Amino acid sequence: MTATSLDPKSAWSGEFGDDYAGRNVASEQALRERTAMWARVGQAFMGDPPRSILEVGCNIGINLRALPRLFDAELYAIEPNATARERVLADKVLPPERLFAGFGEELPLPDGAVEMAFTSGVLIHIEPERLGATMDEVHRVSSKYVLCSEYFSPRPETITYRGHEGLLFKNDFGGLYMDRFPDLELVDYGFFWKRATGLDDPTWWLFRKKAG
């Protein structure tokens, strides 16, 4: 079967994104797995967790549902798909004033608005020509921490995703952040093996902005 191409922004904001949201379930098992993930990442905060957090591309908000189990932080999110946003609001995961419609390359927040901005399985779905702008915005709105949890490859790879081209990319996203932003220092990194964690084999990197 020949893979077809979709316009990425139209795909994620439209029917393809609706289907993606429909496949995600905020079950107790999913929340336990995500809470365990954040507990591990939280060790890297060394007693200084962020007090405000933005998720770029939250989908139905599984991370946003897990984070309050561990951290006392004001949560924000941006999500391009209306169906996913409706579920976040219907389940009262976020109030409407802290949930934005849109994509990561144009975040509706001022510089340093939150102490941490992060992506989880989102940079992998951004085509290379838009990736830099998204990373710039994540870096811009964070005053302290930048985190990404994504599929790793030591070199750029384009993967056919559900029969379509141009919707899934692997890369060394941690290396891209370090090369692009000299003010970021690596705090910690790791790998969540699916067989042990239930997560989908992501690699994560936590960075902190250097003082001064």
Domains in the chain, number: 1
Q: Please give the model's pTM, rounded to 2 decimal places.
A: 0.96
The rounded distance, in Å, linking the Cα atoms of 171 and 21 is 24
* Full residue range of the structural domain in which residue 87 is found: 4-209
CATH number for the domain including 154? 3.40.50.150
Compute the average pLDDT of residues 150-168: 94
Query: What is the predicted pLDDT for the residue at 122?
Result: 98
Q: What are phi and psi of 43, to 5 degrees?
A: -60, -30
Query: What is the predicted pLDDT for the residue at 3?
Result: 67
- pLDDT surpasses 80 at 2: no
161-171 pLDDT, tens digit each: 988 999 999 99
Q: What are phi and psi of 51, to 5 degrees?
A: -95, -10
Compute the average pLDDT of residues 4-24: 88
The rounded distance, in Å, linking the Cα atoms of 111 and 57 is 19
